[in-house]
Amino acid sequence: MSKTIDQEIMNNFYDLELDNNEYGKEDLYRKLYVIINENNSLRKELEDKSKISEQLEGENEGLKLQLLERVDGELKILTDYNLLLEEYSKLKNSPITDQRIFELDKKIQQYKNSFIRQKDLAATLEKELKTTKKTLNKVTQQYNSLKNSKLGKLTLKYWQWRRKK
């Protein structure tokens, strides 16, 4: 806090009519000053955490959309596969040529392979999402601990000084 703000708080504080028997004016002023400093540090901490959570939400939304797109693709493939299975079972019981059954077997195999690829891709995306979350949490924790450490503060001051040159 600047000296003018400190003086203004002190002047306003002395203007108040306080009961001197219970607390001294200086003690109350010190408590008020401590509360203001704690409030400022908590506000800064809250702003930092809200920025980080906004970043995480943005990344999570993007990965969720990708995952939903993959799931939609899987559902379409699964629906087509089920329709082919129904058609296959109907045709298998009716007199039909071996060529048609062979073609249906081939299509079913293609859909199976496509479904397996989509499933593997969705699992890979899910793993990437978890890994990204873990990495981001680790980096955030490391950044916060470094930022709050004496070495981190000195390093920050050094680089700020260095940029000014």
Give the pLDDT band (50/70/90) at residue 22. low
Please state the domain extents for the chain.
3-164
Amino acid at position 48, single letter? D
- Average pLDDT (124-132) is 85
Distance of CA 45 to the CA centre of its chain: 17
Question: pLDDT tens across 63-105, in order?
Answer: 888 888 877 777 787 787 777 778 777 766 666 667 777 777 8
Tokens of 47: 């702003």
- Percent of the chain residues past pLDDT 70, beyond the cut: 78
Q: For residues 103 and 84, give the distance between their C-alpha atoms in angstroms, rounded to a whole number.
A: 11
Q: For residues 85 and 107, give the distance between their C-alpha atoms in angstroms, rounded to a whole number.
A: 10
pLDDT at residue 48 greater than cutoff 50: yes
Question: pLDDT tens across 25-34, in order?
Answer: 677 677 777 7
The more confidently predicted of residues 11 and 142 is 142
Q: For residues 115 and 56, give the distance between their C-alpha atoms in angstroms, rounded to a whole number.
A: 30
DSSP 97: -
Sign of the alpha-carbon torsion through 120, 126, 130, 135 = positive
- Average pLDDT (56-69) is 80
